[in-house]
Amino acid sequence: MRKIGVLTSGGDAPGMNAAIRAVVRKAIYHDLEVYGIKNGYQGLIEGNIEKLEIGSVGDIIQRGGTMLRSARCEEFKTDEGQQKGIEQLKKHEIEGLIVIGGDGSFRGAQKLTEKGYPCIGVPGTIDNDINGTDFTIGFDTALNTIIEAIDKIRDTATSHERTYIIEVMGRDAGDLALWAGLADGAESILIPEKADDFDDVISRLKRGHERGKKHSIIILAEGVGSGFSYGQRIQEATNLETRVTVLGYIQRGGSPTASDRVLASRLGAKAVDLLLEGKAGRMVGIQNNKIVDHNITDILSKQHTINDDMYKLSKELSI
């Protein structure tokens, strides 16, 4: 293998730049040429491809977002779209592709691999919703952004007797809400993986209020429903003043944490190693602090699950 390509796809995540940098530097270290594909699969179809040098990825390790930009591309879900992508790669004599993104992006990589074109996936998403890896690139940064925001809300909360509902990202996965809830000592955590026990939420709030608690915090993943309508229900059921904050897109931004930079560097480098070993259709990940790789098809066939022990602990610590 002499030439490889790299793209970022789907929702962006802090640390994607650090992963791109690792891919480029590791490849050049092994005397490979590296090509950056702009705008994900859309750019691949359009041939928006340029050679990356050592200096192309200088001064990006600390930046959020992705220098290659990202996009969603419906056409790539079709056979014709994938074929166009392969033609572009062949035209540029690129022999293997590293895809940094979430599970949707991995489906694209899986399709290319099935069509005989070798791809390796690097998990980059703030949601931490990918099987076969304990953490995805961007999760730690997003989590810390949430914690910082909640700490600020707490400061104002202590001045008033109120219930605060914080809506965080996570359409199908509750990892951000669960970790944030544990890290911030929330009264209740509402996540898509667990049935919403409204009575339990209310009785926790009432118990806290009775023992003189000044304020309560409830963290809700967006997949559970709207924070505003939940807040209204809570206020009606408890008669406690309720305020809702939807954190929104700030969760995707910001300089990646040290953990995310290190993870991105390790995973990006491993992806290059796998291509050099002639592997295809694999996803890299971290499990028990070891860098591992798995078959992408196996990873995509399993439902992401929440850590039940952590969920149980969150309830025990917020009695």
d(CA 134, CA 156): 34
Q: How many CB atoms lie within 10 A of CB 32?
A: 19
| Contact code string over 11-30 relative to ligand ADP, x by CB under 6 A | x-------------------
Examine residue 139 and tell whether it contacts ligand ADP (CB under 6 A). Answer: no
Shortest Å distance, C-beta 257 to ligand ADP: 20
Residue 304 found at the interface with ligand ADP (CB under 6 A): no
CA gap 319, 317 in Å, rounded: 6
Which of 12, 79, 103, 127 is catalytic? The answer is 127
12 is catalytic: no
In the DSSP assignment, the letter for residue 85 is H
Exactly one of 8, 48, 88, 125 binds ligand ADP (CB under 6 A); that residue is: 125
β-pair partners for 122: 100
- Is residue 125 classed as helix, strand or coil in its secondary structure? coil
Which pair of structure tokens corresponds to residue 118? 């070798």
Provide, rounded to whole angstroms, the least separation between the CB of residue 71 and ligand ADP.
7
Q: Which is nearer to ligand ADP, 162 or 282 (by Cβ)?
A: 282
When the beta carbons of 44 and 272 are compared against ligand ADP, the nearer one is 44
- Using CB under 6 A, pick the residue from 102, 121, 181, 285 that binds ligand ADP: 102
Q: Does 103 bind ligand ADP (CB under 6 A)?
A: yes
Query: Residue 111 or residue 270: which is nearer to ligand ADP going by CB?
Result: 111
Establish if 35 lies at the interface with ligand ADP (CB under 6 A): no
Q: Does 164 bind ligand ADP (CB under 6 A)?
A: no
Task: List the one residue from 77, 194, 206, 233 that touches ligand ADP (CB under 6 A).
Answer: 77
CA 294 to chain centre: 18
Structure tokens, 33: 């040429």
Q: Is 111 among the residues that bind ligand ADP (CB under 6 A)?
A: yes
The amino acid at residue 18 is A
Structure tokens belonging to residue 317: 């610590």
* Cα 4 to the center of its chain, rounded Å: 24
Return d(Cα 22, Cα 269) in angstroms, integer. Answer: 5
CB of 77 to ligand ADP, least distance (A): 4
> Contact between 5 and ligand ADP (CB under 6 A)?
no
- Distance of alpha carbon 6 from alpha carbon 264, whole angstroms: 14
Sign of the Cα torsion 88, 274, 27, 287 reads positive
**Closer by beta carbon to ligand ADP, 74 or else 309:** 74
Report how far residue 198's alpha carbon sits from residue 187's, in angstroms, rounded to the nearest whole number: 13
Q: How far apart are CA 42 and CA 73, in angstroms?
A: 5
Task: By CB under 6 A, tell whether 243 contacts ligand ADP.
Answer: no
Measured from the CB atom, the residue of 198 and 254 that comes closer to ligand ADP is 254
Q: Which residues contact ligand ADP (rule: CB under 6 A)? A: 9-11, 41, 72-73, 76-77, 101-105, 107-108, 111, 125
Catalytic residue numbers?
127
